[in-house]
Structure 1
């Protein structure tokens, strides 16, 4: 029988995440999530008590080390899962880091045994300015996360949308809804986009981070 330490030890070194903007990190593509993209927003940028990790990156030594360092610096964060396609090795990350996990209730059943698992239905406010919206279509429990912090157009201002697989890359700086073999319900996905437009504040967001694979667009 494996010990807990053996179960949570990463199998490979991997590449560390790369800083793409102040307080924002992009992880290398994860084979555990069909090559999807994971992002981290630092607590300092949000004015919150813990980082927000959007979707599971690959379970590598580099990623676990980085996240443990962040935990030591600012305390436990939150792993937000935008769809079942991005669950990856959620349980191993949670055991290694002690972070809480937040998922839309439709897909919580896919995470048996995960500790500190929290569910939400239609909408949820994780912290001031950090909100989630259920956007079914790509999968039954797909969701997006919108983060706003700081003063408009001032240093440290954040106004971003983490859209999961609701929008996928179609070219440099271009995202669009795409119907793929994994799409759960295309009409509901289009309806979710309309709902998202009405839910977002006026003139927002300033940038969008997709959970889809970026490939050469990275």
Structure 2
């Protein structure tokens, strides 16, 4: 006998062994299918973009000690940001060019980068939006939470996506070049994209991340037309 109601969609643990634990939330319709993450840390957990404010997510997050909520781009804000911030009593971190979009929320802003703890840093990666940013952590061999700056294509390869709403395509490509210069094989093992995770075909992250990042050929992308 089957239940008439669908099983609740819960945050999914994406690493095993799970120290530190990282959870991926189900796609959020309010952020156009965006995937939010929770990165646990003894100094205070970090929420990356806003998950759907469902009963299941509320129960899960109330059991966590969330210190930071990083907004990686304006599309990751979500309609329930105020409720989420007030409930969790967390600090909202956002690149300074996006902060004006949420005047009712007290924010911590940054320009080029901001250290959340000794091994986790927010990095300004403009282009998708003026204040688009990524979060990098040294854990698990190095993880880049890429927001919508880099998304998986149909072959699960990380790529920038130029759309009619892309703020500044040349700046986005320049920001990718800066990431290519920033990392080494030993410092970047995984990418956790902020959307399009269905293209990962059940995988939790884009693995072999450094090599796949370096395989992005920026020259032909500069001629790419915007997708409507």
Where 1:49 maps in the other structure, the secondary structure is coil
On the 8 A contact 2:141/2:187 being kept in 1, the answer is no
Matched, 1:100 2:98: no
SS at match of 1:70: coil
* Inter-partner Cα distance in structure 1 for 2:141 and 2:187: 10
The two structures have a TM-score, normalised by structure 1, of 0.82
Determine if contact 1:14/1:60 at 8 Å carries over to the other structure. no
Q: Do 2:114 and 2:122's aligned partners in 1 also have CA atoms closer than 8 Å? A: yes
What CA deviation, in whole Å up to 9, does each residue of 1:14-68 have, x standing for no partner?
Answer: 522011111111100001111111111111xxxx311111111111111111010
Secondary structure of 1:94's aligned partner? helix
Distance in 1 of aligned mates of 2:130 and 2:63: 34
For 1:179 and 1:14, locate their aligned partners in 2 and report how far apart those are by CA, in whole Å.
34
1:203-214 paired onto structure 2 within 5 Å: 203-214=186-197
Matched, 1:143 2:128: no
Alignment equivalent of 2:118, drawn from 107, 114, 128: 128
1:179 and 2:139 equivalent? Answer: no
Q: Contact 1:18/1:26 (CA < 8 Å) preserved in 2?
A: yes
**TM-superposed deviation, 1:202:** 5.2
C-alpha spacing 1:20/1:195, structure 2 compared with 1 (3 Å): same
- CA change 1:163–1:174 in 2 (3 A) is same
2:43, 2:8 → 1: CA distance? 28
- Structure 2 contact 43–117 (Cα < 8 Å) conserved: no
2:39 is the alignment partner of 1:41 = yes
What is the aligned counterpart of 2:71 among 52, 71, 81?
81
**Selected match of 1:56 from 44, 50, 72:** 50
1:24 paired residue number: 22
SS of the residue 1:113 aligns to: coil
Query: For structure 2, which runs of at least 5 residues remain unmatched after alignment?
Result: 1-6, 203-228
1:112 corresponds in structure 2 to 103
Q: Distance in 2 between matches of 1:169 and 1:84?
A: 20
Contact 1:29–1:213, Cα closer than 8 Å, also in 2: no
Q: Is the 8 A contact 1:91 1:111 kept in 2?
A: no
Q: What SS does structure 1 have at the residue aligned with 2:44?
A: coil
User: 1:198 and 1:114 mapped to 2: Cα distance?
Assistant: 34
Task: Output the CA distance in 2 between the equivalents of 1:90 and 1:211.
Answer: 17
TM-score scaled by structure 2? 0.78
Check conservation: 2:122, 2:135, Cα contact below 8 A. Answer: yes
Shift of residue 86, structure 1, vs aligned partner: 0.4
